[in-house]
Amino acid sequence: MQEPQSFEVLSISPPPPELRTPEQHTPEPRNPEEAFDLFKLSSSPVRVSGTRVGVNASFTDAGSAIVCTVDKSLFCIGFWEKIKSSGRICLPRRSGKTYNLIQLLLFFSMAPEKSHLDAPDSAIEELGRSAEQIRQMDVATKCRLKRTLLFKDSLLKEKHRAFFDEHFMKHPVIHISFSLCKGTPAGVFLASVCDAIATAANNWLKQYPLINGIKVENTNRYLQRLQDTLNDHDSLQRKFEISADKHGRLPTLLFACLSEFVGECVGKYILLLDEYDVLFIHTHLKSWSDEEKEEVQSSLKGLIQAMFKDNRYLRKGLLVGVFEVPLAELGSGANNIVDFPMVPFKNVTGNGSIVSATYKHSGKGLDALTDSFWFNTKEVEGLLEKSAIRFPQIAEHRDEVMAVIKNWYNGYHFGWFRGKYNP
């Protein structure tokens, strides 16, 4: 599908799994010299830590010495350098979208972000604090030290220390997940959109007293406006006055109040939207009346416009999802979004393989952005080594296991990188 010409397009991703073909696997080498080049270790920065390999690991497990995690922290500098204003990344499920979005939140956010931190307070002892010192700390200090642990031995801190020191926990961030937005009546669906924004708003209301640098002047005015809008939403819910016409403008109004509060009281912020595509897919699939569907579509376009076009408080924004909803359907608010359509570069040679030593990974920019999703060959090998600690039979049959993994999961192209693994 052709994108409007006013949008900047960067091709850096694979097709969805169902569209893959055998030719998209790393091709067989034509001669021994090419084979040697293809299977040498690449210059891609790799760090695999922990000993227990499992499924559904979150970014907050990165600070654990037990849970096995693959370091994807370079995504933070890739995001900052390549997404100048607002960007969109769409990838298949289980490619690391939510993982990386939470990583951005916990790296950049100046708020404590306590709801995303599961580590016990005793973990802070690793930073040289005694149990008595930890006991006397306030909640915000404990949260910031736990986040320091998450990035303590990261590739980002090691390779880009100046960037790390400049941006770590220095920016206001609004994070909204639309994963739970659903509802058969149109009004219920729009109410669920309001719920997602309200969750982010309430999170900010809980955290803003703990943030240093809040602008006290006029804070109460913006705070009261946000709380009044939240109360309007709650009131409609309690009275069961849920309809498309009553909730049509509420998502945009609620976000505008949240945006104004954060922007005026703290400063320009980073906006992170998870599963943005759920909103538009749900709308398309429902058999609502033409009037209801038009009301919902108008509401969503108004919301996107408030987020990405008429937003003087926005520093950077990122939308992630599975499906590439045509930007034209997002309305004029999408004009400022740089789209990253997930298709491979054409005619990628051996020099473009993630397992090729001839492509020098820069460790930042587009390389950092694209190599932060899925796993490359070196990362899979690292995970196998960690698995072999608990399951020695893996080490005994390493080559066979690696061949099976490659057959099942290898074959994705991502920009200049090919041979990516998606579990």
Query: What phi and psi values does residue 118 have, to the nearest 5 degrees?
Result: -105, -10
State if pTM tops 0.85: no
Task: Write the DSSP string, 190-217.
Answer: HHHHHHHHHHHHHHHHHHGGG-TT---T
CA max distance for the chain:
73
Helix, strand or coil, per DSSP, at residue 288: coil
Residues 49, 71: contact at Cβ < 8 Å?
Answer: yes
Contacts within 8 Å (CB) and 24+ apart, 388-394 = 389/51, 390/51, 390/52, 390/53
Return the DSSP state at 53. Answer: -
Query: d(Cα 101, Cα 153) in Å, to the nearest integer?
Result: 19
Per-residue pLDDT tens, the chain, 423 aa: give them: 444 433 333 333 333 444 333 333 334 444 444 433 333 334 567 767 665 655 555 666 555 555 677 888 999 999 999 888 899 988 888 888 898 999 999 999 999 888 888 788 888 888 889 889 988 988 888 999 999 988 988 899 998 999 999 999 999 999 999 998 887 788 888 889 999 999 999 999 988 888 866 666 667 888 888 988 888 878 776 555 565 556 678 899 999 999 999 999 899 999 999 999 999 888 888 888 888 888 888 899 999 999 998 899 999 999 999 888 887 777 777 778 887 755 554 444 433 334 343 456 677 777 788 778 888 778 888 888 877 877 788 888 888 888 888 877 776 666 556 667 776
First-to-final CA distance of the chain: 27
**Amino acid identity for residue 413 in this structure:** H
Could you give the CA distance from residue 53 to residue 64 in angstroms, rounded to a whole number?
12
Cα-Cα-Cα-Cα dihedral sign, residues 396, 400, 402, 408: negative
- 3 state DSSP class of 75: helix
170 near 144, Cβ under 8 Å?
no
Which of 81, 216, 206, 232 lies closest to 140, judged by CA? 206
